[in-house]
């Protein structure tokens, strides 16, 4: 085993591992000197705090594990696991945070690959199990490697790992999939998809500022349901991303395209019904009343809004939606 090297973080700029960590930090990471409260600061100032946010709100570059044992410093060696790039240890009880750098960061919501997120989750959970890491750790904050309150150690690890390289050390087959509430990767995706489905139907009714306020409220309410909620800047980034998309030409084009397709289908249905003599005066009157709602329901359904929510918002029954050809996805 290559000897661990305890370092003095006062001149961390000259230490590649810590310089790399600094470069990867969010511009304004959350930080604190006391657990239970945190606040955003520019990363130059945040390095002076005892705890710091390690990853950008929209992606994962560093995998961090909380090892709550007195001999935490040697767990990776004793269990024949890959060396972390550095370890930050509590000198009072020996507990430590292991920090592994990924060669390629993985996005955690938005246009990010679902398969990539699932692979990240699988490898993270596998390495967490192998290390015997604390399962309740949220990953929001870590022991600051630049703080004199902790001890920082280098292990002689390579500059970074691919997920495949880490997976080579692990047995991933027995790991059961976890619910979104069980880890910090699932929270991002779940919040993003829940919030966007709520935002799409109201996007055209509000200006950008008003929409962002509504989207933030939706995301914050959903985030509060998690055992380990995300930090406010993560919620803000998700909300801004959704709002910008809703006010972009891409969303407008998507909406117009959906409306055009619906209009063509409606026109075809009316022609077919007329041929069969199905359109009496009463039927046409009802059709005129329901056409706008039916068009809106069709659009909401295409955007992923649930049947129950469509029925409640448009004040129609599920049977009516079913008659319109709008049914729950299996």
Tokens of 8: 């003095």
Tell me how far apart the alpha carbons of residues 164 and 82 are, in angstroms, rounded to a whole number. 12
Q: How far is CA 105 from CA 24, 63, 113, in A?
A: 10, 10, 12
DSSP secondary structure string for all residues of 261-315: HHHHHHHHHHHHHHHTT---HHHHHHHHHHHHHHHHHHHHHHTT--HHHHHHHHT
> What does the pLDDT read at residue 241?
84
Collapsed DSSP state (helix, strand, coil) of residue 94: coil
Taking 50 as the pLDDT cut, the residues of the chain under it are 177, 179-182, 278-289
pLDDT score recorded for residue 263: 57
Sorted by where each begins, the domain ranges of the chain are 5-177, 184-246, 254-323
Which of these, 219, 244, 183, 233, lies nearest to 25 by C-alpha position?
A: 233
Write the pLDDT tens digit of every residue in 148-205.
999 999 999 999 999 999 999 998 875 554 544 445 666 777 888 888 888 888 888 8
The pTM of the full predicted model, rounded to 2 decimals, is 0.64
Q: Which residues pair with 98 in a beta bridge?
A: 65, 87
The confidence score (pLDDT) of residue 187 equals: 77
Cα 118 from Cα 133, distance rounded (Å) = 19
φ and ψ of 280, to 5 deg: -85, 180
pLDDT value at residue 103: 95
The DSSP call for residue 65 is E
- Specify the pLDDT at position 312: 76
- pLDDT reported for residue 249: 84
pLDDT at position 32 = 94
Task: Enter the CATH code of domain 184-246.
Answer: 1.10.340.50
DSSP 83: P
């Amino acid at each position: 085993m290559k000897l661990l090297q305890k370092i003095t973080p006062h001149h961390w700029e000259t230490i590649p591992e810590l310089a790399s960590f600094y470069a990867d930090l969010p511009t304004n990471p959350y930080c604190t000197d006391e657990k239970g409260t945190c606040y955003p600061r520019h990363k130059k100032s945040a390095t002076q705090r005892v705890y710091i946010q390690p990853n950008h709100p929209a992606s994962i570059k560093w995998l961090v594990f909380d090892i709550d044992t007195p001999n935490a410093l040697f767990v990776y060696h004793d269990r024949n696991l890959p060396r972390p790039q550095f370890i930050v240890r509590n000198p009072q009880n020996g507990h430590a945070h292991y920090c592994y750098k990924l060669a390629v960061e993985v996005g955690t919501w938005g246009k990010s690959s679902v398969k990539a997120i699932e692979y990240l989750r699988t490898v993270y959970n596998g390495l967490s199990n192998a290390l015997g890491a604390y399962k309740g750790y949220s990953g929001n904050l870590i022991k600051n490697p630049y703080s004199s309150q902790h001890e920082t150690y280098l292990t002689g690890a390579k500059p970074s790992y691919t997920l495949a390289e880490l997976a080579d050390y692990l047995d991933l087959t027995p790991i059961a999939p976890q619910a979104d509430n069980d880890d910090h990767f699932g929270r991002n995706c779940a919040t993003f998809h829940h919030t966007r489905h709520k935002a799409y139907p109201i996007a055209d009714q509000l200006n950008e500022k008003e929409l962002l306020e509504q989207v933030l409220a939706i995301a914050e309410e959903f985030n509060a349901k998690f055992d380990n909620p995300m930090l406010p800047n993560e919620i803000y980034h998700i909300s801004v991303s959704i709002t910008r998309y809703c006010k972009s030409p891409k969303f407008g084009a998507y909406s117009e395209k959906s409306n055009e397709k619906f209009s063509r289908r409606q026109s075809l249905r009316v022609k077919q019904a007329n041929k069969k003599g199905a359109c009496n005066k009463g039927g046409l009157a009802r059709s005129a009343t329901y056409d706008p709602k039916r068009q809106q329901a069709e659009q909401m359904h295409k955007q992923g809004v649930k049947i129950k929510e469509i029925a409640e918002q448009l004040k129609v029954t599920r049977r009516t939606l079913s008659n319109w050809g709008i049914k729950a996805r299996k």
